[in-house]
Each structure stands twice: as structure tokens, then as C-alpha cells.
């Protein structure tokens, strides 16, 4: 679907490099998501069903596979996505700067919470200490510390970052509906996947909604990348 038919917008040339970086980041995010989806079927996420002792043992026998199962890809996608969020703010602030700024704040806060809810380095360190511990008391202490970290994987920080990302997605996509430099297809796809993603907390359907959101994020990121590259080549203001 073609972009809106309005007067061609002009953009501040100071942000052209940011648009290109945001477009490149958006493509990288799509690639990482595809890899993460494929990896899920090899190393499925089961942290909420696996004991901390089993996680420690798996980190010793298959460290890479276990880290992938514990969503290490989130730690890679999070920092990269900051470039995308900054580029979206720079473009969409022309539509409504206050809403664009709110979406940026929610996205950046979500990225910081991703780091909090994935304490993987700490789990690896505890696993290494547990592997060489010979005293039963020391082993119990390490297991207790690991259990606290395991709870963070699906705890408050994870819930809040998921909610912030979906709300920010709704805000940015709603601004795209009013922007002459994004297509309505891109905007509506973002609205649909963000709205579905907000159902992540539902007991039975939540994981399904989150999976649909994840899959839908791939074409959305590619579409956004296309328009960010187009903006980068637009006539400067």
C-alpha cells in the first residue's frame, strides 16, 4: 500500500545519519528475531519449568545452548533497537512531538528493563561456583542465589518491559497513520501486533499472542527500515 498522498515532508539533515542507522538496526533486529525463532525450536525456553540446579548443570554441559534458551538474544536486540527508537522519534516528532517523546521514553525504559530481567552473566558465574563447590552449605547458598535470579527471568521487570514495548508500539504506529512518510500498511501492522502483544499476561493465550507479535515484528521491522532509508534520502529542510 503506498504511503499517504500529502505534500512531501522535509527533514532536518542533522538526523539523516540517524535514519540510516535506525534502518540498518531495524533490519538487524528482524534477522535476530528470525534466528531467535529458529533457535527456540532447538533450545526452547523452559526457565519457569526448570529447577535452578538443572540450569546450573546445563550451563556447564551446554553453555551456549542454555544461554540461547534463556533468551540471550534479548540482550543483543535491546541495545540495537535503541537506534531504531531514536530514528522513529526523529521522524515521528514532526507529527506529534509529545507522543513521539513518550513512545521513545517507554522504549528506552523497556530496553533497560530487558537487561535487568536477563541476569545471564550472573547465572553463569553462580553456575561456575556451584560446579566447584564441595561444601553442601555453600551449594545451598548458591542455589538460593540462583533461584532469586531465575525468578527475575519472568518477574516484574520482564512484565513491565513487555508492557512498555507494546504501548510504545501502539503510540508509534498511531503516529505513522498520520505521517505522510510511512504507509498505512506499516502503521496498521504495528497496531495489530502491538495490541496482540499486550495480551501476553493471559494464562493460556498469552504465549500465543506474544509469539504472533514476535513473528509479526519481522515484516514490520523490514517495512520500517525501508521508509527510514527513504527518509534519509529525502530533501533536507
Higher pLDDT, 156 or 14: 156
pLDDT at residue 237 in the model: 54
The string over 46-84, giving b where at least 16 C-beta atoms fall within 10 Å of a residue's C-beta and e elsewhere, is: ebeebebeebbbbbeeeeeebbbbbbbbbeebbebbbbb
Other beta carbons less than 10 A from residue 236's beta carbon: 10
Summary mean pLDDT of the chain:
91
**pLDDT tens per residue across span 108-130:** 999 999 999 999 999 999 999 99
Higher pLDDT, 86 or 10: 86
pLDDT at residue 123 in the model: 95
**Residue 6: pLDDT above 50?**
no
**Residue 203: pLDDT above 90?**
no
User: What mean pLDDT is predicted for residues 186-202?
Assistant: 93
Rounded Cα–Cα distance for residues 224 and 171 (Å): 15
**pLDDT tens per residue across span 40-95:** 899 988 888 889 999 999 999 999 999 999 999 999 999 999 999 999 999 999 89
Amino acid at each position: 500500500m503506498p504511503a499517504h498522498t500529502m505534500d512531501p515532508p522535509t527533514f532536518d539533515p542533522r538526523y539523516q545519519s540517524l535514519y540510516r542507522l535506525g534502518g540498518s538496526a531495524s533490519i538487524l533486529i528482524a534477522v535476530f528475531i528470525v534466528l531467535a525463532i529458529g533457535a527456540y525450536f532447538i533450545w526452547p525456553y523452559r526457565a519457569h519449568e526448570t529447577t535452578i540446579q538443572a540450569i546450573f548443570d546445563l550451563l556447564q554441559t551446554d553453555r551456549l545452548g542454555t544461554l540461547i534458551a534463556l533468551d540471550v538474544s534479548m540482550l543483543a536486540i535491546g541495545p540495537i533497537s535503541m537506534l531504531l527508537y531514536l530514528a522513529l522519534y526523529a521522524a515521528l516528532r514532526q507529527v506529534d512531538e509529545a507522543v513521539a517523546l513518550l513512545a521513545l521514553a517507554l522504549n528506552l525504559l523497556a530496553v533497560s528493563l530487558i537487561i535487568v530481567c536477563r541476569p545471564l552473566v550472573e547465572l553463569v558465574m553462580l553456575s561456575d561456583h556451584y560446579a566447584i563447590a564441595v561444601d553442601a552449605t555453600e551449594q545451598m547458598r548458591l542455589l538460593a542465589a540462583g533461584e532469586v535470579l531465575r525468578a527475575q527471568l519472568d518477574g516484574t521487570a520482564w512484565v513491565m518491559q513487555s508492557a512498555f514495548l507494546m504501548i510504545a508500539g501502539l503510540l508509534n504506529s498511531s503516529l505513522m497513520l498520520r505521517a505522510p512518510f510511512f504507509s498505512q500498511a506499516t502503521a496498521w501492522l504495528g497496531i495489530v501486533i502491538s495490541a496482540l502483544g499486550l495480551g501476553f499476561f493471559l494464562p493460556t493465550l498469552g504465549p500465543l499472542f506474544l509469539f504472533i507479535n514476535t513473528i509479526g515484528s519481522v515484516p514490520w521491522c523490514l517495512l520500517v527500515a525501508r521508509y527510514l532509508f527513504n527518509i534519509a534520502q529525502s530533501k533536507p529542510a
